[in-house]
Amino acid sequence: MSKGRIPDEKPRNLQEQLLLEDAKSGNGIPIQGGIVEPLKDASRLVAHYGGKPEDWVKMSGKTTKIINGMIVQIHWFKNIQNNQTVEFKFKRTYPKTAPKNQ
């Protein structure tokens, strides 16, 4: 059974809000999908948003360091034929803490 539509993730702070606004304004690069390497989620995206499987690509925005060294990047899907953007989500990477000297 395939998932339905995945709602946009909400930003947790001002920096994430700014990253989301930047991504929604069209700033980002394709990282997967299209004709050469179709997305695993392509059939789900077609079923819920339309288009053809090769029309959909996974996009990535800027990577930014915020709050205590956490690294944040936004990913979303884009239909390259009609510029529809859907399912924005945050990828958060937390820094590893150094072991304490004993």
Q: Tell me the per-residue pLDDT of 70-87, one tens digit each, with 9 for 90 and over.
A: 899 999 999 999 999 999
Our count of domains for the chain comes to 1
Range of the domain at 45: 14-93
- Give me the pLDDT at residue 70, please: 87
Label the pairing between strands 56-66 and 70-79: antiparallel
| Cβ-contact 54, 37 below 8 angstroms | no
78, part of any domain: yes
6, part of any domain: no
18, part of any domain: yes
Closest CA to 29 of 91, 80, 97: 80
100, part of any domain: no
62, part of any domain: yes
C-alpha–C-alpha distance, residues 42 and 25, integer Å: 23
pTM here is 0.83
25, part of any domain: yes
| pLDDT-based confidence at residue 94 (cuts at 50, 70, 90) | confident
